[in-house]
Amino acid sequence: MEIVKLGRTGLKVSRLCLGTMNFGPHTTEADSFTIMDRALDQGINFFDTANVYGWKAGEGVTEQIIGRWLAQGDARRDRIVLATKVYGRMGEGPNDSGLSAYHIRKACEDSLKRLKTDRIDLYQMHHVDMETPWEEIWQAMEQLVLEGKVLYVGSSNFAAWHIAQAQSTSAKRNFMGLVSEQSLYNLKERTIELEVIPACRAHGIGLIPWSPLGGGMLAGALQKASEGRRARDNVRNEVEKHRTRLEAYEAFCQSLGENPADVAMAWLLHNRDVTSPIIGPRTVDQLDGALHAMKIRLSKENLESLDKIWPGPGGEAPQAYAW
């Protein structure tokens, strides 16, 4: 497993990040344990979760599963970089969501209990909070860092100007600020190439793409649209919307002798601005498939072919749309 630095920090993480959103709703606890064991054995040391995963308000189902896995011992906790998130609704009260200092502190304490750990290595803001001033957010995060409950702070779903705001305010406080940004990024969804990626590069922020397979669209959707979750009307409609590109993409992958999902992941791994794409396996087989993607080497011509099938926004702003 290749190891890279997370942004401008000295923290070293695996080139793939294990996403755990399926643990609980779609993957049993026993299978979740097996997936985490397998990931760790294969050198994946970067585990990502969120307090809302499990989708039962206030319960933190997925965090609890990870906590019970960590509690088995064998130095599991010290062998991984553990990331979770704050923002989503965790109760019915007016302060049970968002990024107020009140909610950040309570959410952190609750996550620590569920994860059965004394620290969160990377505490990520799951979404920007337009109603809370950055001074308040950073004051709360600084206190958690001082107490040793949080080591690094990251963001998720931020626009470039949110990143710039966050870093400008943290610099005034002599605080490190953001070290990572978790964004929607894949062959099909490339909007962040305009401004978010350049902002991350300028500020030394590691990029952690989520949904690398485009919600399954890049995982052989033409063949799978008639079965399982992909057979739902909304998914089938999405397949029809992109059928021409999907046909070209899947034919291209077939010419390489590779699965579409693995090619999509390999494309992200060829991007030097990407730190660790998040893989969200429901099964061990899906985990093994993602590991195979690391072995795929795409030539310059391959990458150009993929750009023709799935064109991006035209480069970075403002050159992408102005002289």
Q: What domain count does the chain have?
A: 1
Give me the pLDDT at residue 225, please: 55
CB atoms within 10 A of CB 172: 11
Of residues 53, 87, 123, 185, which has the active-site annotation? 53
pLDDT for the residue 250: 95
Decide if 320 is inside a domain.
no
Range list of β-strands (E), 126-177: 150-156
Q: What are the mean pLDDT values of the chain's consecutive 10-residue runs (323 residues total)?
A: 95 96 93 95 96 85 96 91 96 94 97 97 96 97 98 97 97 97 97 97 97 91 64 75 93 94 95 94 88 92 96 93 89
Distances (CA, A) of 295 to 60, 106, 189, 269, 323: 35, 42, 23, 10, 39
**Enclosing domain of residue 276:** 3-309
Residue 143 belongs to a domain: yes
Beta strands in the chain (DSSP E): 3-5, 12-14, 17-19, 46-48, 81-86, 120-125, 150-156, 178-184, 206-210, 278-279
The pLDDT value given to residue 289: 84
* pLDDT recorded at residue 58: 74
Output the pLDDT for position 103.
97
E strand segments, 117-205 = 120-125, 150-156, 178-184
Q: Give the global pTM.
A: 0.91
Give the span between the Cα atoms of 177 and 169, in whole angstroms. 8
Give the pLDDT score at 288: 87
Helix (H, G, I), strand (E, B) or coil at 47: strand
Catalytic (active site) residue 53 = yes
d(CA 202, CA 218): 30
Q: Is residue 89 part of a domain?
A: yes
Let me know if residue 317 belongs to a domain.
Answer: no
Q: Is residue 319 part of a domain?
A: no
CATH of residue 143's domain is 3.20.20.100
Beta strands 178-184 and 150-156, pairing class:
parallel
pLDDT of residue 226: 54
Instruction: Say if 294 falls within a structural domain.
Output: yes
* 316 part of a folded domain: no
Residue 315 in domain: no
Q: Which of 86, 128, 92, 127 is nearest to 107 (CA)?
A: 86
Q: Which residue has the tokens 């949110």?
A: 162
- What pLDDT score does 121 carry? 98
